[in-house]
Structure 1
């Protein structure tokens, strides 16, 4: 089974799509796909489908959706040439793929591809390369991981409470990887190449201090000192108007360093953490 969630939902068995068109079965499949090879409790599925006030028929209706998914899986297995139980040879059935487990349901991946697992693997390699100051390796691994994204996670699924949390978690991991990849590129002196990308990012994330700090640094290193200072002022206005906060001490130090220097010097912003809200500190570039 191959699973894509970093963009539109895609689930394939033996290369054949298993995609219900109705919104609620798609939600069920999305949750099972996100937790492939792990049991998803019935209560979690019910909450995703109906919120805090499910109908009395919720569990029966959920079983109907499971049956619909198994029909799609069974059709894909037949098209893939798997023998049905009782026909001899190696057999596979939809119940072997979408399993009823104690307290819930489990979707078996059977070692197939998963874009989110591959992203997490590549991001992990990238973070370890950053720790080892292998900035070229970090930029490569993180760039390959980010290339797996084709849009917002589960872009074509109408999400409920559970899927909303999962989508936010995935988007946060994407933003963390993006921040670290840009950090690696800055360490490699690619500040001019980053200007276009950072222009878009700071417009999208108006109060993200780390990205604004990176943009300031890229502009500063490109000899555009005045523009770097303007980025700080726009960030400050956004933070005050939207969050009632002043920029962090670290961002104020970066602004002060730019104000005091008439020519760009090799400065860098190193992450203190991977979260999107992590603070930065000004350190000499190696």
Structure 2
């Protein structure tokens, strides 16, 4: 079998075309084809087909699509593997994998044998049939994967032009380079190659005109000047002292205005030594760095990300792009297009389509060292288009529930502070003398706040405004659950957002989880069997709902099959839930 995604999705078997006509079946197949041989979870497929607001029947619909696909495909290559599905094919059976293999071979021989490299690049580029996944319609996975595949193609195309320039093919490259720079006017490398080709064919004036065109376009659309390499090339052509060393050199552009500045460092930042050590170790490793940080509401994920972003500032001289995706707020989550528009942050103009926004965003990052911080995400479809794949760039994404990232992503769970760290945080706000004078009360106060940094800051700030109250008085006050709800109303409001997001979820398990949580307030044993006895609901459904509550960071699981409250979730007001139908 032969699968093709470098253009409209096609399936071939023994040289004959196999039609897969239903659009959403094609989309399911595409989500598996971008990771051939790997298991893709049902949740990931749902997210890639519908985004953060799928229909209630999404998982059942996916099963139906898979059953129909199996009837269409002439070989039994579509396997069910927990927690999802896998396309059991060799990489060479997918054109994108063959393309990557040929490009890698071409790179290997480019220096000793440029003629052979040109042949291999040509063979790879002939696999390209147009816009990848072009016939899938407006599904989130296309916005994520089509620009990535297009970038692989354009990168290989640029490398093939470098080989052509080494071989002296300047005149023959001009028509194709001219067409491509019209199609992709923000790609500085293509512009540079066209300028070199024009200069070497005695067309210096045209080369300089082309530079002015790209400069005007970049200022208008991105708000930045061309990079130093392109500016030096223009100066060399003006002086007519061009030696034009052909190999492309990546350089850093001047720092640009970011989408927003990360939140400032907190003077009272406390603890997190282990988490910061892990972040530092990962950022010291070679290659692109993508770090996803998740944890319950108020635990300090955003604070940790901001603290580390400031620490890393010198490593990313081209700036930090920060966007708050507001996943911790009520309302619909930010769309991928809105995230990209915020990252571009150009006051001059905005891209017309989501695909244009992706291209403009990648053009802005090209050749630069930028740290991207995406705060308070809710789903992979929101953030994947904004994850940079440019060497020298990095990304930190924070979220409450774990979010699946690209291959190579490192995930870090942030939990509550230790008692010592909590007491230290109290001391930084109310004053160390007060904490040192009442150490037992300070520890009790930390426990009443469940060692949650946001809750601790809230109470410590209130305590600082009442300097004549003892910490013991605050402990007595907060021991009453009703008063504790009042004092921590803002913190609990953040938890309710997570419950509301579950209630609006696309699966029965998510909606059941939202209805189940209030019933667990006084439960003494949290296991699927015990909760099923408590509610009268099916044990299988209860087990799925408990897992959803863990993913939403409203419960945690200390052992397989066992569950427990995060300290503050037990404070959420009890509501009378409906029985799942």
Q: Which runs of no fewer than 5 residues in structure 2 stay unpaired?
A: 251-361, 369-581
Q: Deviations over 1:203-225 (max 9, x none)?
A: 11112111111111000000111
1:6-21 equivalences under 5 Å are 6-21=6-21
1:113 and 2:100 matched: no
| Gap change, CA 1:245 and 1:57, over 3 Å in 2 | same
Aligned to 1:61: 61
| Bigger Rg, structure 1 or 2 | 2
**Distance verdict in 2 for CA 1:16–1:104, change over 3 Å:** farther
1:134 alignment counterpart = 113
1:179 Cα deviation after fit: 0.4
What secondary structure, in the 3-state scheme, does the structure 1 residue paired with 2:168 have?
coil
Q: For residues 92 and 115 of structure 2, what CA distance do their matches in structure 1 show?
A: 29
Q: Could you tell me whether the CA contact under 8 Å between 1:217 and 1:268 is conserved in 2?
A: no
Unaligned runs of 5+ in 1: 78-93, 280-286
CA separation of 1:143/1:259 partners in 2, compared to 1, >3 Å: closer, same or farther?
Answer: same
Counterpart CA distance in 2 for 1:48 and 1:112 is 24
Name the counterpart of 2:104.
Answer: 124
Q: What are the superposed Cα offsets for residues 37-66 of structure 1, whole Å, 9 maximum, x if unpaired?
A: 111111111112222112221111111111
- Tell me the residue number matched to 2:43: 43
Name the Cα RMSD after superposition. Answer: 2.1
Between 1 and 2, higher relative CO (CA 8 Å, sep ≥ 6) is seen in: 1
Change in 2 beyond 3 A, CA 1:112/1:269: closer
Q: Distance in 2 between matches of 1:201 and 1:50?
A: 33
Q: State the distance in 1 between where 2:55 and 2:215 align.
A: 48
Deviation at 1:156, TM superposition (A): 1.8
Distance 1:44 1:162 in 2: 10
Contact preservation (8 Å) 2:91, 2:97: no
TM-score by length of structure 1 reads 0.83
Tell me the residue number matched to 1:86.
none
When residues 110 and 68 of structure 1 are mapped into structure 2, their CA distance, relative to the original with a 3 A threshold, is: same
Residue of 351, 362, 367 corresponding to 1:278: 367
Instruction: Give the match for residue 174 of structure 2.
Output: 195
Deviation at residue 150 of structure 1 after TM alignment: 1.1
Deviation at 1:10, TM superposition (A): 1.1
Per the TM alignment, residue 268 of structure 1 is displaced from its structure 2 partner at its CA by 3.2
Residue 183 (str. 1) matches residue 272 (str. 2): no
SS in 1 for 2:158: helix
Summarize the alignment of residues 14-29 of structure 1 with structure 2, pairs less than 5 Å apart. 14-29=14-29
3-state SS of paired residue (1:268): coil
Deviation at 1:18, TM superposition (A): 4.0
**Quick one: distance in 2 between partners of 1:144 and 1:16?**
22
**Distance of 1:248 and 1:141 partners within structure 2:** 30
Assess, with a 3 A threshold, how the Cα gap between structure 1 residues 10 and 228 changes in structure 2: closer, same or farther: same
Q: Secondary structure, in 3 states, of the residue corresponding to 1:267?
A: coil
Structure 2 Cα separation of the partners of residues 25 and 104 of structure 1: 15
Q: Does residue 98 in structure 1 map to residue 78 in structure 2? A: yes
Q: Name the stretch that deviates more: 243-252 or 158-167.
A: 158-167
The residue number in structure 1 matching 2:328 is none
Q: Is the 8 A contact 1:271 1:278 kept in 2?
A: no
CA–CA distance in 1 between the matches of 2:102 and 2:88?
Answer: 23
Shift of 1:230: 0.8
Q: Match for residue 284 of structure 1? A: none
Q: Is the 8 A contact 1:2 1:109 kept in 2?
A: no
Return the alpha-carbon distance in structure 1 between the equivalents of residues 13 and 207 of structure 2: 51
Q: For residue 144 of structure 1, what is the aligned residue in structure 2?
A: 123
Aligned-partner SS, 1:36? coil
Q: Which residue of 2 aligns with 1:242?
A: 221
Inter-partner Cα distance in structure 1 for 2:194 and 2:91? 41
CA contact (8 A) 1:221 1:266 kept: no
CA distance in 2 between counterparts of 1:202 and 1:43 reads 39
Equivalent residues of 1:27, 1:159 under 8 A apart: no
The answer to whether 1:254 aligns with 2:233 is: yes
Q: Determine the C-alpha separation between the residues in 1 that align with 2:213 and 2:89.
A: 47
Q: For structure 1, which segment, 46-55 or 14-23, has the greater mean C-alpha deviation from structure 2 after superposition?
A: 14-23
